Amino acid sequence: MMLMISYMTMTLMLTMLMMLMMKMITKKSIIDLNKSSPFECGMNTISYKRLPFSSHFFLIAVIFLIFDIEIIMISPTIMTMKTSSPMMWMITSFSFITIIIMGLYYEWSNGLIKWSK
């Protein structure tokens, strides 16, 4: 028990020593108001104007995420090819790919994929 307490004490002392050395070694910087203010998404927070946001860009991003997730869902079908029957595997794979193609056609026919309108 005493050995464990001494190890914990030594670990704590070593950690404190390392933190103290890091504090002494690191570069001291002058706190600047502009540098310490948050800067998000390329917009300066000092100005309070709202910039217009393209909703079409948002739709393209959502479509990309949906198709990306669908591709991730297709990947395990290659591993299940060994354990399932070939006919059942082909029916499942083709039906899933058909659903993906139908979704792509729907988005294409509604003009969601066109960047310029």
Give 8-24 pLDDT, tens digit per residue: 999 999 999 999 988 88
93-102 pLDDT tens trace: 888 889 888 8
Q: Cα 100 to chain center, whole Å?
A: 23
pLDDT tens-digit readout, 62-94 = 888 888 888 888 888 888 888 888 898 889 888
Name residue 44's beta-bridge partners: 39
Helices (H), 26-45: 33-36
pLDDT score of 8: 93
Structure tokens, 52: 């217009």
Average pLDDT, the chain: 79
Does 44 have pLDDT greater than 90? no
Half-sphere exposure of 107 (CA within 13 A, CB side): 17
pLDDT at position 99 is 87
Please check the confidence at residue 45 and state whether its pLDDT lies above 60.
Answer: no
Alpha helices, DSSP H only, in 1-117?
2-25, 33-36, 55-74, 76-79, 86-109
pLDDT at 80: 82
E strand or H helix at 24? helix 2-25
Q: Sort 107 into a burial class: Cβ within 10 Å, 0-12 / 13-18 / 19+.
A: middle
| DSSP tag of 41 | T
Q: Beta strands 43-44 and 39-40: pairing type?
A: antiparallel
Q: Is the pLDDT of residue 48 over 60?
A: no
**Residue 18 · residue 10 · CB < 8 Å:** no
Give residue limits of the domains in the chain.
Answer: 55-109
Amino acid at 96: F
